[in-house]
Structure 1
């Protein structure tokens, strides 16, 4: 029954939602993800700055990448290629392209409707923009519950399963012991809350990402003469024009969209939870940064994995096996047996930070549902650690099907909310664009212009100090806060 429901939801509903509404947001915003593409790098550079006691935009980016860059970038791509052929990679690209606009709006709205806690830190996400933007508390609670179940519980079990079985394949390590070790290490980080999670993500995410990209690019460069032909095969297979993969066009679309969403999470409502905690001058700045993270996740990392598999010579049409083994054996076919070990270690780093991110999403939405309750928080942490250990040693076919269903339900609730709040998203985008057109390098959000919106005026004060136009000389020797 779960498989039947999952096939319908993820095979039909999810495609229409992600590609259909993502395309709508893209066209109505005049391709915001392309118009601001090069601006993303300038915002990314500025995001390295942080306010005292607050998480910087860069830290929020590392947190979101901690979640986006996980098992889906290794195992998920392998599964997509196995079941959908090379054409699945093209549909992953399509999903990411339109998903960049969805992520832009969901993260901008997450920032817009964020709330300031008593200690000055921020919290927000889809549940908050549904409650305060649509004035539907019950729908916000449903969204929070779905995020809690999907990320806090189901996805954590799946991630743990992926890494422990990968380490078992590469090193022969017992899944029980690796499951216990993984749960113990994660428990130490959970205790420190969002700031400790952010510090760990700051350290591990750039390292794991750059090392993985470096090794895969090395393999691709070794066979660079085959890359143009393989890219052509990917495009032709996506439309059933390659004879070897002509019968997989339906599977290519379904697997490309499904695994693409699992990898980059654009439109699911997960990234806005961490995007909201950052201290930024304008909500749109965080939307721009998070759109960049979708690009990095899919167009760079997932493409590296796909080309690694397709160029290795190990993969053949009709290949039977799991996605992790396919990626491990593909790298080993080019560089030797150490390739299997490298994939396992890389996957372990990917999964560790991804579980931290998933845990935070669950905790944030638990707080939305029941408020500050220390006993409930301790119970949640304990349950997550138990499920991580359970996922490490059990077969998770049923859990995977359940997670796909709740993921589709998340996309449905979140994307409909984004559609209903799209005019608000366009208003703040126009405000940001108008300031940039006027020559202001770093646009500043003034909540006085948006009195009709239910905003937290502590998070977004009225009449903040205006930013100087880009052409104007910066005052020398005067701290930015005083300016």
Structure 2
């Protein structure tokens, strides 16, 4: 019965109804137009803000830590297993549509992160917390919708998504070293518990050191493989473009599969529009102290995740001859491709990469769920203990569950969150545009953009004393 419900909801969101695909495209185009192509016009400014981004305060983590925390959640199964799934189901053309949803998603990610910063609150320890539930409640005064989003987030990021990451880790370890799933599950639980006990700051410190190391290492390996196969790159790029528009397909079915799987796995990887990243954005003490500065930082996260890391995996698979004819699922296809390039060491490398990528997601997902405890007045010792126990139990379940069942539940949770969040951020467009114009104007005039309450007309009301 549960499987039937999950299947029916996913069919509306992702399948025949294609509600989410339409919503994501419309939302991305909407904010690209309303913000005048901010992801292209101010592309360089994203990198400029990384200077001075390591300053933290007693109330908030640094902007760099917030970026690494959001990348911890983004960079996981979507970058290795998810890209492989997209290629195996949608062919090489799925990669082009993954790029397109990322380009549009940069504007969406900018918008939701600006709101996360503006409407953030202080928890019982005086630290910043925020996210869609908070800007829905304070900006739109829709408490019931805020609670509904929080419940979907607890289901998704608090529980199911960590099960997905654990499932991929155990699959990779079993495929490479025949390690029993139960043993891997216990190992993940022990390591995750040691990190999450330190709360958001402990998770941010972990992400700050691990994410740059694993990301740069993976990209360097992908670049090395690309250079070794440089003669095949032009044909590879043409293959991606031609399959993306059905130029080599017998019918429209394959084209539809490329679009659907590219967008679906692109969203699952970069999370733009899903409402997850605003939790990391809200936790930061921005530099300069303006909500829009975190919009730029988190927009950079979408670019790094999909345009850099997902593309790296796609090139590794496609340069090894991977296509829609492959029958392997998820991470096994990536491991097989890497083995063709690097020999027996390829399987070991992918197993290590997926363990790092997925484990950082497991840890960051905990932080997103914890951020919503404040909504239910559960940001206390008993509340955190109950949440932590449920979170760890789901990791153990996911480590041994069937892959299709886990992915289906993850897609449903992500889809429901995304619908609510997109409705909210489009509703809050006047506030996003007002804040952005304030930042753009100050920046263009050579001023340091700083925001104080009353500088802009906003919907609803931000918490007293924050700005």
TM-score using structure 1 length: 0.92
Deviation at 1:247, TM superposition (A): 4.8
User: Does the C-alpha gap of structure 1 residues 223 and 244 become closer, same or farther in structure 2, counting only changes over 3 Å?
Assistant: farther
The answer as to 2:117 corresponding to 1:111 is yes
Matched residue, 2:205: 199
CA distance in 1, matches of 2:115, 2:7: 34
CA distance in 1, matches of 2:85, 2:254: 14
Matched residue, 1:339: 346
What are structure 2's unaligned runs of at least 5 residues?
none
Larger radius of gyration: 1
Give the paired residue count: 458
Alignment match of 2:218 (pick from 207, 212, 215):
212
Deviation at 1:376, TM superposition (A): 2.5
SS in structure 1 opposite 2:134? helix
Matched residue, 2:284: 278
SS in structure 2 opposite 1:454? coil
Matched residue, 2:452: 446
Alignment match of 2:331 (pick from 324, 334, 350):
324
Deviation at 1:245, TM superposition (A): 8.9
Deviation at 1:221, TM superposition (A): 1.1
SS in structure 1 opposite 2:454? helix
What are structure 1's unaligned runs of at least 5 residues?
461-483
Matched residue, 2:191: 185
Matched residue, 2:433: 426
Alignment match of 1:291 (pick from 279, 291, 299):
299
CA distance in 2, matches of 1:316, 1:95: 21
Deviation at 1:352, TM superposition (A): 1.1
Matched residue, 1:367: 374
CA distance in 2, matches of 1:52, 1:190: 19
Q: Deviations over 1:276-320 (max 9, x none)?
A: 01001100000000000000000000001001100113x244211
Deviation at 1:53, TM superposition (A): 5.7
User: Does the C-alpha gap of structure 1 residues 259 and 316 become closer, same or farther in structure 2, counting only changes over 3 Å?
Assistant: closer
Q: Deviations over 1:419-460 (max 9, x none)?
A: 1000100000000001011112x3111213247641123211
Alignment match of 1:6 (pick from 3, 10, 28):
10
Alignment match of 2:86 (pick from 74, 80, 84):
80
The answer as to 2:308 corresponding to 1:300 is yes
Check conservation: 1:244, 1:317, Cα contact below 8 A. Answer: no
Q: Deviations over 1:374-421 (max 9, x none)?
A: 222211111111111111122142232122122111111000100100
Alignment match of 2:243 (pick from 234, 237, 243):
237
CA distance in 2, matches of 1:239, 1:154: 34
TM-score using structure 2 length: 0.95
Aligned residues: CA RMSD: 1.5
CA distance in 1, matches of 2:252, 2:217: 35
Matched residue, 1:469: none
SS in structure 1 opposite 2:49? helix
CA distance in 1, matches of 2:123, 2:384: 17
SS in structure 2 opposite 1:449? coil
Matched residue, 2:358: 351
CA distance in 2, matches of 1:403, 1:194: 23
Alignment match of 2:108 (pick from 87, 95, 102):
102
Alignment match of 2:165 (pick from 136, 152, 159):
159
Q: Deviations over 1:338-386 (max 9, x none)?
A: 1011001010001111011111111111331233342222111111111
